[in-house]
A and B are shown apart, each in its own frame.
Chain A
Amino acid sequence: MIEIRGLTKSFGSLPVLRGIDLTAAAGHVTAIIGPNAAGKTTLMKALVGLVIPDGGDIRVGGVSVRRSWAYRARLGYMPQLPRFPENLTLGELVALIKDLRGAAAPGEEALLGLFDLAALLARPLRVLSGGTRQRISAALAMMFDPELLVLDEPTAGLDPLSSRRFKDLLDAERERGKTIVLASHVMSDLEELSDRIVFLSEGKVFFDGTLAEILGQSGEPTLERAIARMMEGERR
């Protein structure tokens, strides 16, 4: 479980997060949505420890993660734009992450197979396409069977087959009680995966509820329309 209380962050004089309160429960997919520059990626990065918050607190399993690094052994992260050292091969990258984590990777073979990566192990990473990198990123994030998954637009760039497999996998992970936080602009991701939707706008939580609540509140027939309306309403 992840609890975020009063999280603030500014870049220079620009406030990006202005007091975020949020709880992501185990066994749930919490989707973070919102217009561009709403603070989604900053929030995700704060969870991982890439961005250092100015104020507030993030607790994972009840323990504050401020100045802590060990909690990341229980966390898998997919960044928005995965890029890897150009001269290493995929096999070396996998070995590197395993070596750095110093942990067993129970999901290694299954994930490399699932995302069609096993045949690419000897290839240098510089020759692999964007979609392939995204698949690698997914495999690396889940390989160590982490309790928490922080996924920043994970299906962007994935072909339909990989995207389908990825979503099925995420469904299974949720069933196993994982805490999943996901940012996405893809409506089908949200409709299929999310248990809860958190709408961020200008660094604040603008709406926090289930899919049914969002639809009911807006009176729109589809999620896309409901979200579009929410964005319009919030701009007015």
Chain B
Amino acid sequence: MRQALKVGRYALADLVRSRWILAYAGFFAVLGWALFYFGEEPAQAIVSLLSVVLIVIPLVSAIFGVTQFYNTREFVELLLAQPLRRHSVFFGQYAGLALCLALAFVVGVAGPFLWYGAGNREDVGPLVGLLLAGIFLTLIFVALAFLVGIRTENRLRAVGTLVFLWLYFTVLYDGLLLLGIMLFDAYPLERPLVVLTLLNPVDLARIVILLRLDAAALLGYTGAIFQQFFGSGWGMVLTIGALLLWTLVPTALAARLYATKDF
């Protein structure tokens, strides 16, 4: 654990000086500032930010994660030649990168919000939802990036796989879901839909925020069921639990593969 913390601290120190991370934080800051400035109320800005967060964070986390995984390869070899456990190197590297990306996002979004909306207490809930969703998506997609990076030596294939995963979770999954709803519209689908939603981290992240905005009413009857289910205390626990699982399972799997990987 102490070894992992040390590795993570240096990974973080290396990354915060990277221009890409600064650009990433700057992107959210500029976007957030513009949305809060031109939007009529903070809640609106948060909904607009939500759509960007759900698309951009998975993509950047996955691609930046896997690029970083390959770029630090030789350095990791240097670390692994030191008297350290492999797990320490893996978790240090993963945590350093994921925390750095999450931090860039949080600072980028929270900055303009505090500037414009600090007085409004009722907007804090949705903001927390947004930050939570963004942080989870970062952790999940960096873990997936590491998993793919460990599995293949071929950068191009890794990037291709991750772009596909991103497309699948952000676009295709919902499309397939809609198709399913159309095909089976004679059946009561609300409960299966709740389960299917748990299987997609991007949908889960969306729900975390929407339910904090009372926007679920816009989703019609299904929305009502969702509100009833996900809006309840248990629903919230389940949503966060599912997001936690989505973080832990790929990370644990990656750590396992990393332990026997040849460098």
Contacts and interface: CB of A to CB of B under 8 A. Distances in A.
A85 B79 contact: no
Contacts of A84: 74-75, 78
B248 to A, nearest CB: 24
Interface in A65-109: 69-73, 75, 77, 79, 81-88, 92, 96-97, 99-101
Nearest to B82: A100
B14 to A, nearest CB: 4
Given A45-B262, A72-B82, A88 B74 contact: no
Given A88-B14, A100-B3, A49 B80 contact: yes
A100 B93 CA distance: 14
A49 B10 CA distance: 22
Q: Which of A50, A84, A85, A99 is packed against the most chain B CB atoms within 10 Å?
A: A85
Given A87-B17, A88-B10, A96-B10, A52 B262 contact: yes
B81 A50 contact: yes
Interface string B235-263: 00000000000000000000000001111
Contacts, number: 74
Interface in A33-87: 45, 48-52, 69-73, 75, 77, 79, 81-87
B6 A100 contact: yes
A99 B88 CA distance: 14
B13 interface: yes
Contact of A72 (B10, B81, B260): B81
B119 interface: no
Contacts of A52: 260-262
A77 B262 contact: no
Which interface class (under 10, 10 to 19, 20 to 34, 35 or more) fits A? 20 to 34
Contacts of A96: 6, 10
Contact of B82 (A81, A88, A101): A101
Contacts of A50: 77, 80-81, 262-263
B7 interface: yes
A49 B82 CA distance: 10
B77 A85 contact: no
B14 A86 contact: yes
A82 B78 contact: yes
Contact of B75 (A45, A69, A85): A85
B34 interface: no
Contacts of A49: 80-81
B51 interface: no
A50 B79 CA distance: 10
B120 to A, nearest CB: 38
A227 B3 CA distance: 44
Interface in B2-34: 3, 6-7, 10-11, 13-15, 17-18
Contacts of B13: 87-88, 92
Contacts of A9: 262
Contacts of A86: 14
Nearest to A48: B81
Given A82-B78, A84-B78, A85-B72, A101 B262 contact: no
Given A48-B81, A50-B263, A81 B74 contact: yes
Interface of A: 9, 11, 45, 48-52, 69-73, 75, 77, 79, 81-88, 92, 96-97, 99-101, 140
Given A72-B82, A87-B13, A92-B10, 4 more contacts: A45-B262, A69-B84, A84-B74, A140-B78
26 contacts: A45-B262, A48-B81, A51-B262, A51-B263, A52-B260, A69-B83, A69-B85, A69-B86, A71-B83, A72-B83, A73-B83, A75-B81, A79-B81, A82-B74, A82-B78, A83-B73, A83-B75, A85-B11, A86-B14, A87-B14, A88-B10, A88-B14, A92-B13, A97-B78, A99-B6, A100-B84
Ranked nearest first, the 7 interchain pairs of A and B with the lowest CB-CB distance are A83-B74, A73-B83, A87-B17, A77-B81, A85-B14, A50-B263, A72-B83
